[in-house]
Amino acid sequence: MVESISERITRITSNLPESVRLIAVTKQVSVDTIRTAYAAGIRDFGENRVQETEAKQAQLQDLPDITWHLIGHLQNNKVVKALKQFQWIHSVDSLKLAKRLNTLAKEFSYSPNICLQVKILPDPNKYGWGITDLISDLAELNECQNLKITGLMTIPPQGLNNLQTLSVFKKTQELAQEIRQTNFSNLKTQELSMGMSDDYNLAISAGATFVRLGRVLFGERKN
Protein backbone atom coordinates (compact mmCIF):
# COMPACT_ATOMS: atom_id res chain seq x y z
CA MET A 1 0.00 0.00 0.00
CA VAL A 2 1.26 3.47 -0.86
CA GLU A 3 1.85 5.63 2.19
CA SER A 4 -0.03 8.94 2.11
CA ILE A 5 1.69 12.25 2.80
CA SER A 6 -0.05 12.46 6.18
CA GLU A 7 1.16 8.98 7.06
CA ARG A 8 4.71 9.82 6.05
CA ILE A 9 4.64 12.98 8.13
CA THR A 10 3.33 11.08 11.13
CA ARG A 11 5.93 8.33 10.76
CA ILE A 12 8.86 10.70 10.29
CA THR A 13 7.92 13.21 12.97
CA SER A 14 7.28 10.48 15.52
CA ASN A 15 10.83 9.23 14.97
CA LEU A 16 12.50 12.62 15.37
CA PRO A 17 14.09 13.49 18.71
CA GLU A 18 12.28 16.30 20.52
CA SER A 19 15.30 18.57 20.10
CA VAL A 20 14.89 18.51 16.32
CA ARG A 21 12.49 20.81 14.49
CA LEU A 22 11.21 19.59 11.15
CA ILE A 23 10.99 22.01 8.25
CA ALA A 24 8.82 20.67 5.45
CA VAL A 25 10.45 21.84 2.23
CA THR A 26 7.64 22.72 -0.15
CA LYS A 27 9.46 24.15 -3.19
CA GLN A 28 7.50 22.98 -6.25
CA VAL A 29 4.85 21.54 -3.92
CA SER A 30 1.27 22.73 -4.39
CA VAL A 31 -0.72 24.79 -1.95
CA ASP A 32 -3.16 21.89 -1.54
CA THR A 33 -0.31 19.65 -0.45
CA ILE A 34 0.90 22.32 1.94
CA ARG A 35 -2.58 22.26 3.46
CA THR A 36 -2.37 18.49 3.81
CA ALA A 37 0.95 18.84 5.63
CA TYR A 38 -0.51 21.55 7.83
CA ALA A 39 -3.45 19.34 8.72
CA ALA A 40 -0.94 16.63 9.67
CA GLY A 41 0.63 19.03 12.15
CA ILE A 42 3.43 20.75 10.21
CA ARG A 43 3.89 24.43 11.06
CA ASP A 44 7.39 25.06 9.67
CA PHE A 45 7.65 25.33 5.89
CA GLY A 46 10.80 25.88 3.84
CA GLU A 47 10.98 27.50 0.42
CA ASN A 48 13.89 28.51 -1.77
CA ARG A 49 12.30 31.22 -3.90
CA VAL A 50 10.86 34.50 -2.78
CA GLN A 51 8.32 34.79 -5.60
CA GLU A 52 7.01 31.25 -5.31
CA THR A 53 6.58 31.79 -1.59
CA GLU A 54 4.73 35.05 -2.10
CA ALA A 55 2.20 33.33 -4.36
CA LYS A 56 1.66 30.54 -1.84
CA GLN A 57 1.38 32.82 1.15
CA ALA A 58 -1.34 34.77 -0.64
CA GLN A 59 -3.37 31.56 -0.82
CA LEU A 60 -2.67 30.49 2.75
CA GLN A 61 -3.65 33.58 4.65
CA ASP A 62 -6.18 31.60 6.64
CA LEU A 63 -3.30 29.68 8.26
CA PRO A 64 -1.59 32.43 10.25
CA ASP A 65 0.53 30.23 12.50
CA ILE A 66 2.85 28.99 9.78
CA THR A 67 6.53 29.80 10.23
CA TRP A 68 8.22 30.38 6.87
CA HIS A 69 11.87 29.51 6.37
CA LEU A 70 13.94 30.72 3.43
CA ILE A 71 16.49 28.03 2.56
CA GLY A 72 17.71 29.17 -0.88
CA HIS A 73 20.15 31.79 -2.10
CA LEU A 74 18.74 35.28 -1.75
CA GLN A 75 19.25 37.65 -4.64
CA ASN A 76 20.03 41.24 -3.87
CA ASN A 77 16.84 42.59 -5.44
CA LYS A 78 14.64 40.30 -3.32
CA VAL A 79 16.04 41.08 0.10
CA VAL A 80 13.29 43.48 1.16
CA LYS A 81 10.56 41.04 0.18
CA ALA A 82 12.34 38.18 1.90
CA LEU A 83 12.58 40.16 5.09
CA LYS A 84 8.81 40.62 5.08
CA GLN A 85 7.97 37.04 4.11
CA PHE A 86 10.20 34.88 6.23
CA GLN A 87 10.63 34.48 9.97
CA TRP A 88 13.83 32.53 9.36
CA ILE A 89 16.53 32.94 6.73
CA HIS A 90 18.79 29.87 6.75
CA SER A 91 20.77 30.86 3.69
CA VAL A 92 22.66 34.01 4.64
CA ASP A 93 25.75 33.26 2.62
CA SER A 94 27.89 36.39 2.47
CA LEU A 95 28.98 39.35 4.55
CA LYS A 96 27.47 41.65 1.95
CA LEU A 97 24.04 40.05 2.36
CA ALA A 98 24.33 40.08 6.15
CA LYS A 99 25.14 43.79 6.13
CA ARG A 100 22.25 44.55 3.81
CA LEU A 101 19.85 42.61 6.01
CA ASN A 102 21.22 44.40 9.02
CA THR A 103 20.53 47.81 7.49
CA LEU A 104 17.03 46.82 6.43
CA ALA A 105 16.24 45.20 9.76
CA LYS A 106 16.87 48.55 11.39
CA GLU A 107 14.82 50.41 8.82
CA PHE A 108 11.83 48.07 9.26
CA SER A 109 12.40 47.41 12.97
CA TYR A 110 12.08 43.75 12.20
CA SER A 111 14.66 41.05 12.07
CA PRO A 112 14.19 37.41 11.10
CA ASN A 113 16.27 34.68 12.71
CA ILE A 114 19.33 33.99 10.67
CA CYS A 115 21.63 31.07 9.99
CA LEU A 116 25.00 31.56 8.36
CA GLN A 117 25.49 29.11 5.50
CA VAL A 118 28.85 27.38 5.63
CA LYS A 119 30.72 25.11 3.27
CA ILE A 120 32.82 22.72 5.28
CA LEU A 121 34.33 21.29 2.09
CA PRO A 122 35.03 23.35 -1.03
CA ASP A 123 31.98 23.18 -3.31
CA PRO A 124 31.74 25.33 -6.44
CA ASN A 125 28.02 24.49 -6.73
CA LYS A 126 27.06 26.10 -3.43
CA TYR A 127 26.94 29.49 -1.87
CA GLY A 128 28.27 30.13 1.60
CA TRP A 129 31.38 30.78 3.63
CA GLY A 130 34.35 28.48 3.76
CA ILE A 131 35.55 27.94 7.32
CA THR A 132 38.50 30.34 7.21
CA ASP A 133 36.49 33.00 5.38
CA LEU A 134 33.77 32.81 7.98
CA ILE A 135 36.23 33.08 10.83
CA SER A 136 37.78 36.18 9.32
CA ASP A 137 34.31 37.76 8.88
CA LEU A 138 33.11 37.06 12.43
CA ALA A 139 34.10 40.45 13.83
CA GLU A 140 32.14 42.28 11.14
CA LEU A 141 29.18 39.94 11.48
CA ASN A 142 29.18 40.64 15.17
CA GLU A 143 28.84 44.33 14.34
CA CYS A 144 25.50 43.61 12.63
CA GLN A 145 23.66 44.42 15.82
CA ASN A 146 20.17 44.34 14.27
CA LEU A 147 20.52 40.75 13.12
CA LYS A 148 19.48 37.74 15.14
CA ILE A 149 22.25 35.38 14.18
CA THR A 150 21.16 32.12 15.75
CA GLY A 151 22.83 29.28 13.90
CA LEU A 152 24.78 27.70 11.10
CA MET A 153 23.36 25.99 8.04
CA THR A 154 25.18 23.55 5.80
CA ILE A 155 24.57 21.34 2.77
CA PRO A 156 27.25 18.70 2.16
CA PRO A 157 28.59 18.39 -1.40
CA GLN A 158 27.02 15.74 -3.62
CA GLY A 159 28.58 12.31 -3.84
CA LEU A 160 30.01 11.84 -0.35
CA ASN A 161 29.70 8.54 1.47
CA ASN A 162 28.01 8.39 4.88
CA LEU A 163 31.22 8.75 6.83
CA GLN A 164 32.27 11.81 4.86
CA THR A 165 28.80 13.33 5.20
CA LEU A 166 28.82 12.71 8.94
CA SER A 167 32.20 14.39 9.15
CA VAL A 168 30.81 17.50 7.42
CA PHE A 169 27.98 17.67 9.95
CA LYS A 170 30.31 17.14 12.91
CA LYS A 171 32.64 19.88 11.70
CA THR A 172 29.68 22.23 11.36
CA GLN A 173 28.74 21.46 14.96
CA GLU A 174 32.34 22.09 16.08
CA LEU A 175 32.47 25.36 14.18
CA ALA A 176 29.25 26.50 15.84
CA GLN A 177 30.72 25.65 19.21
CA GLU A 178 33.93 27.49 18.41
CA ILE A 179 31.93 30.60 17.44
CA ARG A 180 29.96 30.44 20.68
CA GLN A 181 33.22 30.44 22.61
CA THR A 182 34.42 33.69 21.05
CA ASN A 183 33.72 37.05 22.64
CA PHE A 184 31.40 38.04 19.82
CA SER A 185 28.27 38.37 21.88
CA ASN A 186 25.96 38.96 18.92
CA LEU A 187 26.85 35.60 17.38
CA LYS A 188 24.63 32.94 18.87
CA THR A 189 25.06 29.71 17.01
CA GLN A 190 22.97 27.29 19.04
CA GLU A 191 20.90 26.22 16.02
CA LEU A 192 22.26 23.77 13.44
CA SER A 193 20.22 23.62 10.24
CA MET A 194 21.48 20.51 8.53
CA GLY A 195 20.08 17.29 7.12
CA MET A 196 17.91 16.65 4.06
CA SER A 197 15.99 13.57 2.88
CA ASP A 198 19.07 11.43 2.21
CA ASP A 199 21.17 12.36 5.22
CA TYR A 200 19.02 13.70 8.03
CA ASN A 201 19.69 10.84 10.39
CA LEU A 202 23.42 11.50 10.10
CA ALA A 203 22.79 15.20 10.71
CA ILE A 204 20.72 14.42 13.80
CA SER A 205 23.48 12.24 15.19
CA ALA A 206 25.83 15.22 14.80
CA GLY A 207 23.49 17.58 16.66
CA ALA A 208 21.13 19.05 14.06
CA THR A 209 18.36 21.18 15.57
CA PHE A 210 16.57 21.73 12.23
CA VAL A 211 16.19 19.17 9.46
CA ARG A 212 14.89 20.34 6.09
CA LEU A 213 12.95 17.57 4.39
CA GLY A 214 11.32 17.62 1.00
CA ARG A 215 11.35 14.37 -0.97
CA VAL A 216 10.83 11.98 1.94
CA LEU A 217 7.62 13.82 2.73
CA PHE A 218 6.27 14.81 -0.67
CA GLY A 219 7.98 12.51 -3.18
CA GLU A 220 10.45 13.33 -5.95
CA ARG A 221 10.37 16.78 -7.49
CA LYS A 222 10.08 17.16 -11.24
CA ASN A 223 13.33 18.94 -12.16
Ligand X SMILES: *Cc1c(COP(=O)(O)O)cnc(C)c1O
Judged by CB under 6 A, the stretch of 57-65, 97-105, 179-187, 206-214 that binds ligand X is: 206-214
Is 214 among the residues that bind ligand X (CB under 6 A)?
yes
- Nearest in space to 58 (alpha carbons), one of 85, 24, 88, 23: 85
C-alpha distances in Å from residue 108, one per residue of 35, 84, 104, 105: 30, 9, 6, 5
Is 57 among the residues that bind ligand X (CB under 6 A)?
no
For residues 16 and 205, the answer to whether their CB atoms sit within 8 Å is no
Shortest distance (Å) from residue 31 CB to ligand X: 18
Query: Other CB atoms closer than 10 Å to residue 56's CB: what's the count?
Result: 20
Judged by CB under 6 A, the stretch of 55-63, 123-131, 133-141, 212-220 that binds ligand X is: 212-220
Binding ligand X (rule: CB under 6 A), the pick from 94, 146, 186, 197 is 197
Q: Give me Rg for the CA atoms of the chain.
A: 17
Size of the site for ligand X (CB under 6 A): 12
Shortest distance (Å) from residue 92 CB to ligand X: 12
Distance from C-alpha of 145 to C-alpha of 43, rounded to nearest angstrom? 29
For residues 147 and 114, the answer to whether their CB atoms sit within 8 Å is yes
User: Strand, coil or helix: what is 124?
Assistant: coil
Query: Which x/- pattern, by CB under 6 A, does the window 143-182 give for ligand X?
Result: ------------x---------------------------
**68-97: which residues touch ligand X (CB under 6 A)?**
71-72
Shortest distance (Å) from residue 34 CB to ligand X: 15
Residues that bind ligand X (CB under 6 A): 25, 27, 48, 71-72, 155, 196-197, 212-215
